[in-house]
Structure 1
Amino acid sequence: MVIEDDWDIKGPDEEKRPPMPEIKIPPMAGTVLRGAAIVLTVLIIFSVVFGSIFVSIGAGEVGVKFNQFGGVEDDELGEGLHIVPPWVSVTKYSVRSEVYTMTARPSEGEVIGDDQINALTNEGLTLGLDITVRYRLVAEDASVVHKNLGTGYAEKIIRPTIKSVIREVVSGHAAMEVYGEQRELVAAEMKDEMEAALLEDGIIVEEVLLRNVRLPEKVADAIESKLQADQDAQRMIFVKQKEQLEAERKIIEANGIANATIVRATGEAEALRLINQELSKNPKLINYKYIQMLEEQEVQTLIVPSDQGIILDATK
């Protein structure tokens, strides 16, 4: 009995199938492919032994290269995929707008707890200030920042600069200037001072927000009382102006009525003058007007004094 393996059994279709054509690779192409395979293998070995040689820099980032044989390199890596030697490490820095907040609110800011800045005014009053600074790293200076400050540059340079500038600027102003209507001007002065101090370190200050100013309790109460008094005074001025306008309106109205009366009286007097003038010319005109009035009343019988004569048409 002969047992045949399954792979020895060929179907009728397989016996009729033509042999696969032989693919011939040109010698030059084969050499290139072998070289590429060798290079890829070497790169993979280097990546495994020394770390990845492929570095991806994301949007809004810059890469600072550190050469194990030469230190920090000045040419930063821009956005995109880069190939670097295995002995070069890359540290990524954000060049987008960042914020640093110092506030009394425990849930806000870079420091947990009360991180409000206390500063003295030129009057010797202590103000508490909540500050937010918006800044960004200059991409071309990232290698300098990495060399001089490192990745924690915000705590090393931005925080102390904020505190120093805030205290210096506030010391040149009165409490009401910082607290009141000039707050934006004070914030602009703080921005200019911070930008001048941080620009040499490769940091641009974009905006300083003076979010809240806490006054001493006695000063706050005094300001509240003054504001209330000002509001009461403004209210009284408004009431007085309203009453004055009402009085002026009544005077104008009375003058109008008086002028109208004068005009009407003048007109009536002129009418009487004209009537008297006509009567002086024709005394019987008044009898005629009187009879006309009676005719309009449909009077049937009329008694006229005998000495007045007949002034009606008897034919009617």
Structure 2
Amino acid sequence: MVMEDDWDIKDPKEGKESPMPEIKIPPMAGVVLRGAAIVLTILIIFSVLFGSIFVSIGAGEVGVKFSQFGGVQEDELGEGLHIVPPWVSVTKYSVRSEMYTMSAKAAEGEVSGDDQINALTNEGLTLGLDISVRYRLVSEDASVVHTKLGTAYAEKIIRPTIKSVIREVVSGHTAMAIYGEQRELVATEMQVEMEKSLVGDGIIVEEVLLRNVQLPAKIADAIESKLQADQDAQRMIFVKQKEQLEAERRIIEANGIANATIVQATGEAEALRLINQELAKNPKLINYKYIQMLDGQEVQTIIVPSDQGIILDATT
């Protein structure tokens, strides 16, 4: 008796078996293959009717699953290719560092037009602030964000938090502190307060950039005048120091010339003293020096004092 899964190949003319070898598939393997084919067919039908069952999560993304029968699921999908049931939809969220900017320049911020933040200092002065906040979504909390806020979470929670924290922090400082040397410290304080407010919503604040501080017109003019006065004072100090250095240089130069003159005069006086000392010892030394001076010169007549006698031997 031949089983269903046995293949018998016969020659149709002769009614005999073909010389080709007989291939047999085990019964269990046949059952597995038929089952796999049925499952694949069902998956293809569901994919055509309800959408793709294959979901690809890109780099820097996380997928949040929503089941038609159970709502948002807590197990997020990481990077890579995933197979999900047809009744489950996947929403992708970026977990990379993002930047939210509020600026007075129309095309620079998240909102078109003048989106600068106005805040009051502890002096009652109104400052205009351009702010950039760098943040990221915690991948493990993406399902919570999806449930509470949805994909527009930046507008729903980050924007109002930025405005609230900025105004609160600015109210505790003076305009000059925010505008001047303490700007970085103020920005750090803003970052700490924002992170406290947003960490519970699955958002990490990485950095706050206080990019521009616009002062009231009167304060800005006063600061500019003060800076100009400081620059003029610094310039005068520089000129004074330059003149003082020049005066000191001239004094040093004059002292050098005076010292050189004194040294030269002292040397000449000492030379004259030595000459006088030698002349006192040998009065005729001057005649010898005189003759040395005339040596090599074309002299025909020499006039000498009458009391000196003949100083040259005319017979030579």
What TM-score do you get using the length of structure 1 for normalisation? Answer: 0.87
Alignment-derived partner of residue 7 in structure 1 = none
Query: Helix, strand or coil: the match of 1:200?
Result: helix
Gap regions ≥5 residues in structure 1: 1-18
Alignment-derived partner of residue 165 in structure 1 = 165
Distance 2:296 2:247 in 1: 49
Deviation at 1:99, TM superposition (A): 0.8
Distance 1:168 1:313 in 2: 119
Would you identify which runs of 4 or more consecutive aligned residues in structure 1 move more than 6 Å?
none
Matches within 5 A, 1:255-274: 255-274=255-274
The superposition leaves residues 82-102 of structure 1 with CA deviations (integer Å, 9 ceiling, x where unpaired) of 011222221110011111111
Alignment-derived partner of residue 9 in structure 2 = none
Alignment-derived partner of residue 198 in structure 1 = 198
Alignment-derived partner of residue 57 in structure 1 = 57
The superposition leaves residues 181-204 of structure 1 with CA deviations (integer Å, 9 ceiling, x where unpaired) of 322222122112212222222111
Deviation at 1:57, TM superposition (A): 0.3
Distance 1:80 1:270 in 2: 104
Distance 1:23 1:104, change over 3 A: farther
Distance 1:243 1:34 in 2: 104
Distance 1:281 1:83, change over 3 A: same
Alignment-derived partner of residue 47 in structure 1 = 47
Distance 2:252 2:164 in 1: 65
> Which amino acid in structure 1 is aligned with residue 264 of structure 2?
R
Distance 2:41 2:89 in 1: 21
Query: Helix, strand or coil: the match of 1:238?
Result: helix
Deviation at 1:26, TM superposition (A): 2.6
> Which amino acid in structure 1 is aligned with residue 254 of structure 2?
A
Whether the 8 Å contact between 1:102 and 1:111 is mirrored in structure 2 is yes
Distance 1:228 1:57 in 2: 58
Deviation at 1:234, TM superposition (A): 1.7
Distance 1:194 1:247 in 2: 60
- Alpha-carbon RMSD: 2.2
Alignment-derived partner of residue 136 in structure 1 = 136
Instruction: Point out the more displaced range, 27-36 or 187-196.
Output: 27-36
The superposition leaves residues 32-71 of structure 1 with CA deviations (integer Å, 9 ceiling, x where unpaired) of 4433221111101122233322111011100112233333
Distance 1:296 1:61 in 2: 109
Provide the identity percentage: 85
Query: Helix, strand or coil: the match of 1:150?
Result: coil
Query: Helix, strand or coil: the match of 2:56?
Result: strand
Alignment-derived partner of residue 91 in structure 2 = 91
Alignment-derived partner of residue 178 in structure 1 = 178
Whether the 8 Å contact between 1:66 and 1:89 is mirrored in structure 2 is yes
Distance 1:166 1:313, change over 3 A: farther
Deviation at 1:308, TM superposition (A): 1.8
Distance 1:291 1:82, change over 3 A: same
What TM-score do you get using the length of structure 2 for normalisation? Answer: 0.87
Alignment-derived partner of residue 283 in structure 1 = 283
Distance 1:112 1:251 in 2: 68
Alignment-derived partner of residue 235 in structure 1 = 235
Alignment-derived partner of residue 26 in structure 1 = 25
Deviation at 1:218, TM superposition (A): 1.0
Whether the 8 Å contact between 1:288 and 1:311 is mirrored in structure 2 is no
The superposition leaves residues 202-230 of structure 1 with CA deviations (integer Å, 9 ceiling, x where unpaired) of 11111111111111111111111112222
